[in-house]
A and B are shown apart, each in its own frame.
Chain A
């Protein structure tokens, strides 16, 4: 009986607590964003979103991952732009790259989604499985490689020419090196950059090579060391890798991995850092130079509008500087003088086609200029080159397929290690 009383008492306390606690809460539960229905989109033509139209989004993690946050922000921007109501979109976060992804996609299709997006490379085969089962629903997968060979009318890939963004970020780095040389902090030969990559994978190779070429276009004596952590997100490993590079004589660091490990190591050591996926200016005010990132909003808008207008979505879509998919964040406080002008100039040249990032006259492989290279564009069993990538004197990245496939190892870049997986 005593115990029953005690329990009862506990219950009463619990409810009393609840009563106290619920008061401050309502202020946060009301969403301020209730006016989209009255705000027609700027593009005009998307005025008619049918009421039963629905979009589904699948994310690998949630907003705590910079990678997924970039996608979530883009999805929110697209939703606002189109004026979708809360019933017209569904977010599924923390969907692993396993059968979970198929289950989530199939559930979204069950719920009546007309188009479903997934954001992580490993989601691809599960999205294809769902696409086969729901031919009337459009499945769009970012960073994937198989849509152009799969032959499914409702399965699509997308990526962006982020190598152009990296190239521009490389210019910022090169300008900084020039400033350090001019100030006598380092000699020309000591202009060595360090790069923390995740895996020895085409996307990473393409990224650091374009970054290096950007720096080299303004600072010809630059060299670069690259190290790999073997993970897309490992704060401790990235931190340690950056410190190793700095101790090995690197005077500027950039990275292609998702944590704050490398930028924070740079801030501690006072070494300039070029970031990725978003500005790190607030956490690293002294050393942050610039960051390049992919803005997925244009793709989301494009694909959703295609469905609304009854048009076909491209099997393989590449966002560019012109589409607004490749963007640079604001410049840091300590960039070299004239950086903005140099970026503007290069950006204009990239946009009008007079400048190519992988111009074969700007780099050599094993001391030789590359005249022909078979890139592995089609994902198949043998993983061998299948498509000639050198066109008109440059390596045509992201033209045969949106996901990067540049995987040459050019002179001037030293791989300290490799990590295939």
Chain B
């Protein structure tokens, strides 16, 4: 019965103890619905189009024809591959934001083999060499910052980021060597006539093989992270380097090994892009996937299974947004605005999953009950 007035703030934030998974997903679901509603309103306000039509157009852009579905799956596959690649590094708390560079290294190695070895090797061997080269190139690109981190504790965030620009300039340099015609800044489709080094189509489908490969990698990565000794070491190093050292884990070795795998998988994504679908190389071929994948990996809390959903969501939004832009004669920036709104909600809702809001009213009541 003391009268000392305690000023209770209007909103008080506290950390939640673990939320049951269905509640967490309900919050995420609400966030997406809210995001779509805001997008609809925004579109109506700015353009005067019917929001229902806009959602239909979005779905149509992603699933309208079987070709669109396959393009969607292909984009999911590549983004998922990069996300899976980055995940072991992030789980180890190694901030690998050099996915972009590692993809490009893989692309470059693949393209170099296609251009230089197309008349030297039989096709199956050429593809095998391309695969190995791309894995090595991506792996080495990832290993370099890891080596410096392990030996001299350099800052891996800056290092991997810088390696992106080195890779972009390297690709730009080789484009000048390979460009056709001279001065156009354009390599064009490599081996368009002979199709040497192109991954085989399954039936008449160019994208199915990529999708299958990435599906297998997803399962492997799940097993690797969850059930192997390596995976366990990665999570221990991620939780606490000191603990890891104490239990006798060779931290330097784990860092280098993990980044080698991370980079090599990015290199594989580059291989799938160049050999599987695009058959050309540009400095923008990875389309910022190295960065988008960072978000995917974190959104999915490093779980390969949730990553499938997260990539699906992001790719679907992207395809849908560009369809809206085309259908309604809006420019690409509008699609980006919508994607931004939706991502804002999705990332924002994680806050509500991790933290709880207490409003003043409830506190007063609780206090009264406690008396």
Contact = CB atoms under 8 A, between A and B. Distances in A.
A99 interface: yes
B326 A93 contact: yes
Contact of B71 (A3, A96, A103, A420): A103
A202 B183 CA distance: 7
B68 interface: yes
In which size bucket is the chain B interface?
A: 35 or more
A421 B179 contact: yes
A107 B62 CA distance: 12
Interface stretch (A118-126, A176-184, A359-367): A118-126
B184 A121 contact: yes
Contacts of A394: none
Interface in A74-105: 90-94, 96-99, 103
A59 B163 CA distance: 32
A145 interface: yes
A391 interface: no
Contacts of B37: 11, 14
A25 B48 contact: yes
Given A125-B192, A128-B192, A383-B181, A22 B44 contact: yes
B346 to A, nearest CB: 16
A421 B67 contact: no
A355 to B, nearest CB: 28
A62 B359 CA distance: 48
A29 B41 contact: no
A21 interface: yes
Interface in A94-148: 94, 96-99, 103, 106-107, 110, 121-122, 124-126, 128-129, 145
A14 B48 CA distance: 17
A17 B41 contact: yes
Interface string B173-186: 00110011111111
B188 interface: yes
A383 B192 contact: no
Contacts of A90: 326
B189 A126 contact: yes
Given A97-B186, A110-B67, A421 B45 contact: no
B326 A91 contact: yes
Nearest to A111: B65
Contacts, number: 122
A7 B183 contact: no
Given A14-B37, A379-B180, A64 B189 contact: no
Given A28-B47, A93-B325, A106 B67 contact: yes
Nearest to B40: A18
A385 to B, nearest CB: 12
Interface in B281-298: 282, 284-285, 287
B44 A21 contact: yes
Contacts of B248: none
Given A93-B332, A107-B68, A421-B175, A129 B186 contact: no
Given A62-B332, A125-B192, A125-B280, A202 B41 contact: no
Contact of B185 (A3, A62, A64, A421): A421
Interface string A63-74: 110000000000
Interface string A18-46: 10011001111100000000000000000
A122 B37 CA distance: 38
Interface string A190-221: 00000000011110100000000000000000
A9 to B, nearest CB: 12
Contacts of B41: 14, 17-18, 21
B9 interface: no
B176 A202 contact: no
Contacts of B285: 98
A381 B45 CA distance: 53
Interface string A379-405: 101010000000000000000000000
A376 interface: yes
Given A96-B284, A126-B189, A421 B359 contact: no
A96 to B, nearest CB: 7
B68 A129 contact: no
B151 interface: no
B189 A129 contact: yes
Nearest to B273: A99
Nearest to B328: A29
Contact of A92 (B47, B48, B326): B326
Contacts of B184: 121-122, 199, 201, 421
A319 to B, nearest CB: 20
B277 interface: yes
Contacts of A63: 331
Interface in B39-66: 40-41, 44-45, 47-49, 65
B190 to A, nearest CB: 9
19 contacts: A2-B362, A7-B30, A11-B37, A17-B41, A18-B41, A22-B44, A25-B44, A25-B45, A29-B47, A91-B326, A94-B331, A99-B277, A122-B186, A125-B189, A126-B189, A128-B192, A199-B184, A421-B176, A421-B183
Closest 6 CB pairs of A and B: A201-B183, A25-B48, A125-B189, A29-B48, A421-B185, A62-B331
Given A200-B183, A421-B185, 14 more contacts: A14-B34, A14-B38, A28-B48, A62-B331, A92-B326, A98-B285, A110-B65, A121-B186, A125-B189, A383-B182, A421-B172, A421-B175, A421-B179, A421-B183
